[in-house]
């Protein structure tokens, strides 16, 4: 059986609490001989700053580069609000994304039937929802140059951000999205603003070409990003996979996320290029939520986003889709049984703390596996 190297970076706040529930799962998989994971641990964010005065050390970065996947908790908190900008907790995550060249951000939005009433939208609109937003993560207006504020000398200033995309950046993110669509319901929606932006014109053209050349079997449609946002809240079930740039992806994935209820439920994956020699790709998996300092250390954190992020690692880094399906099914079964952490608690359900939720999911997984 292949050995997979995982780097666990729990981070700050509730990060270590939710990571403990993933570790419980990994230990069980190893003990049962279902998989063989070698785990290392490192510090990132505020905890790394406290130990080494940086947001992540070079040594931890080297471990990340050598791993088959990084499993990341969350960073930040009021304790580190005043530390110098370049060593603030978030800088650790940004360095990981940059140095590992993680250009594709995958954000699934799944609405578990048991939680359909937690959404601000009507049950029939969100029940059974399962969409995947693929956001370009390393290009576009967040990184384009020039990026300046200039004093015009007449009491006015001018701010410039530059939206820039090259063909290869659009091609590679499109391929990730088409490949995902093929494994799902075979439909891809590409979103941009070709009516007012040159980068939108090129985005549309390149996605269309990649489709015609390599993915004719996948259904492709184009939507303007603004009406796409409208459609996301109007009838989200029309979508399977959505691919879009860094800026629109930032906004649209947050909108899609909120269709499903709590932040404590949302996983994500960030992927790099496939290495031609090893056939592996760099990857990092993390919950969408932050370090939640308001509830840290109280056993109140919902570990589902973290566990579902690990399930994404099984699916996208280790080709263990069947096992990932079982983890997802175990989460759905525990929710259907009425167990709830505080963030998703509703009348008539049973309260659970972080550990109880993690244990219940593992127990369901054991039953599904047995
Ligand atoms: P947050 O996601 O940490 O918390 C927002 C709200 O959601 C809080 O009320 C919190 O209690 C709740 N929440 C979040 N995750 C939860 C979970 N798993 N279970 C139950 N409730 C949960 O966002 P914030 O409060 O804006 O930020 C707190 C800190 O986290 C800040 O320092 C911020 O910079 C950092 N942050 C880090 C990341 C990251 O590491 N990727 C992302 C966002 C924010």
Assess whether the C-beta atom of 301 lies below 6 angstroms from ligand 1: yes
Closest ligand 1 atom, residue 305 Cα:
18
Q: Which residues are catalytic?
A: 142, 193, 226, 250, 254
Assess whether the C-beta atom of 70 lies below 6 angstroms from ligand 1: no
Domains detected in the chain: 1-114+264-370 (3.40.718.10), 130-258 (3.40.718.10)
CA of 290 to the centre of ligand 1 (A): 3
37, 38, 329 from 324: Cα distances, Å: 15, 18, 8
What pTM did the predictor assign? 0.94
CA of 207 to the centre of ligand 1 (A): 34
CA of 289 to the centre of ligand 1 (A): 5
d(CA 24, CA 186): 35
Closest ligand 1 atom, residue 306 Cα:
18
Assess whether the C-beta atom of 258 lies below 6 angstroms from ligand 1: no
CA of 291 to the centre of ligand 1 (A): 5
Which pLDDT score, from 0 to 100, does residue 258 have?
A: 82
Start-to-end CA distance of the chain, whole Å, equals 20
Assess whether the C-beta atom of 113 lies below 6 angstroms from ligand 1: no
d(CA 158, CA 331): 50
Q: Running DSSP on this structure, what letter comes out for residue 275? A: P
Rg, Å, the chain Cα set: 21
Q: List phi, psi (to 5°) of 184.
A: -115, -120
Assess whether the C-beta atom of 302 lies below 6 angstroms from ligand 1: yes
Each residue's pLDDT, cut to its tens digit, for the chain (370 residues) gives 899 999 999 999 999 999 999 999 999 999 999 999 999 999 999 999 999 999 999 999 999 999 999 999 999 999 999 999 999 999 999 999 999 999 999 999 999 888 888 888 899 999 989 999 999 999 999 989 999 999 999 999 999 999 999 999 999 999 999 999 999 999 999 999 999 999 999 999 999 999 999 999 999 999 999 999 999 999 999 999 999 999 999 999 988 888 877 788 999 999 999 888 888 899 999 999 999 999 999 999 999 999 999 999 999 999 999 999 999 999 999 999 999 999 988 889 999 999 999 999 999 999 998 8
Rounded to 5°, angle at Cα 248 from 245 and 249: 70
Which pLDDT score, from 0 to 100, does residue 112 have?
A: 87
**Helix 15-32, helix 354-369: angle, nearest 10:** 20
């Amino acid at each position: 059986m292949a050995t997979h190297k995982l780097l666990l970076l729990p981070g700050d706040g509730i990060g270590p609490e939710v990571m403990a529930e993933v570790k419980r799962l990994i230990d069980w998989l190893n003990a049962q001989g279902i998989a063989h994971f070698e785990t290392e641990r490192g510090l990132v964010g505020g905890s790394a700053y406290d130990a080494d005065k940086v947001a992540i050390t070079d040594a931890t970065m080297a471990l990340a580069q050598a791993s088959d996947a990084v499993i990341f908790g969350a960073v930040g908190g009021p304790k580190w609000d005043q530390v110098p900008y370049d060593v603030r907790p978030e800088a650790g995550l940004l360095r990981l994304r940059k140095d590992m060249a993680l250009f594709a951000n995958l954000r699934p939005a799944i609405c578990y039937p048991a939680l359909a009433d937690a959404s601000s939208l009507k049950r029939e609109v969100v029940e059974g929802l399962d969409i995947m937003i693929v956001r370009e993560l390393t290009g576009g207006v967040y990184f384009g140059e020039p990026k300046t504020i200039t004093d015009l000398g007449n009491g006015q200033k001018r701010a410039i951000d530059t939206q820039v995309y090259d063909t290869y950046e659009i091609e590679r993110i499109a391929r990730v999205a088409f490949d995902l669509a093929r494994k799902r319901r075979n439909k891809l929606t590409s979103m941009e603003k070709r009516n007012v932006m040159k980068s939108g014109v090129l985005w549309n053209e390149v996605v269309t070409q990649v489709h015609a050349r390599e993915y004719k079997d996948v259904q492709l449609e184009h939507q303007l990003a603004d009406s796409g946002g409208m459609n996301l809240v109007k009838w989200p079930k029309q979508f399977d996979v959505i691919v879009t740039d860094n800026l629109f992806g930032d906004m649209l994935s947050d909108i899609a996320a909120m269709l499903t209820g709590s932040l404590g439920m949302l996983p994500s994956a960030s992927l790099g290029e496939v290495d031609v020699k090893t056939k592996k790709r760099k990857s990092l998996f993390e919950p969408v939520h932050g370090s939640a300092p308001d509830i840290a250390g109280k056993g109140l954190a919902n570990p589902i986003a973290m566990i579902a992020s690990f399930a994404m690692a099984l699916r996208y880094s280790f080709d263990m889709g069947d096992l990932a399906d079982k983890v997802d099914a175990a989460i759905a079964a525990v929710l259907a049984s009425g167990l709830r952490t505080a963030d998703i608690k509703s009348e008539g359900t049973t309260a659970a703390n972080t550990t109880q939720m993690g244990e219940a999911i593992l127990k369901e997984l054991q039953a599904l596996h047995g």
